[in-house]
């Protein structure tokens, strides 16, 4: 018991080891992997990002020109961003704020855009 006393006293009077997140947050790392974003105007709805995603948090509906992302299932690995042929996907270096309610990110684009983009790329 007496061997722990110096450790307890030192911890009691020293600076805190943790931050009071989210009130006090750390600046993001330069090459950190954070929230996924989609420039829906550039998206061709090819579905490669959904097929490559290891956590299956992306769903693409080409007929409805819809792209859906579940940030609660995402592991922020960046595979979807690396595999996006149109360059519409990007990844911030900052994390999303804590959330109390689960939400899905649903983006709708133009159904004609996917057809136009496929004609331009040929």
Q: Which residue has the higher pLDDT, 1 or 31?
A: 31
| Per-residue pLDDT reduced to its tens digit, 71-82 | 999 999 999 999
What does the alpha-carbon distance between residue 90 and residue 81 come to, in Å, rounded to a whole number? 6
Domains of the chain, CATH where assigned: 33-121 (3.30.70.3270)
Phi, psi of 120 (to 5 degrees): -70, -30
pLDDT at 61 over 70: yes
86 vs 11, which has greater pLDDT?
86
Residue 24 has pLDDT above 70, yes or no: yes
Judge whether residue 117 has pLDDT over 70. no
Residue 113 has pLDDT above 70, yes or no: no
């Amino acid at each position: 018991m007496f061997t722990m006393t110096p450790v307890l006293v030192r911890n009691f009077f020293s600076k805190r080891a943790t931050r009071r997140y989210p009130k006090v947050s750390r600046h993001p790392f330069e090459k950190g992997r954070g929230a996924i974003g989609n420039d829906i105007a550039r998206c061709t709805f090819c579905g490669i990002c959904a097929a490559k995603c290891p956590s299956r948090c992306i769903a693409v509906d080409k007929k409805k020109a819809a792209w859906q992302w579940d940030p609660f299932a995402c592991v922020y690995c960046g595979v979807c961003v690396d595999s996006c042929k149109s360059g519409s996907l990007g990844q911030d270096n900052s994390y999303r704020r804590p959330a109390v309610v689960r939400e899905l990110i649903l983006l709708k684009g133009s159904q004609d855009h996917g057809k136009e983009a496929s004609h331009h790329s040929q």
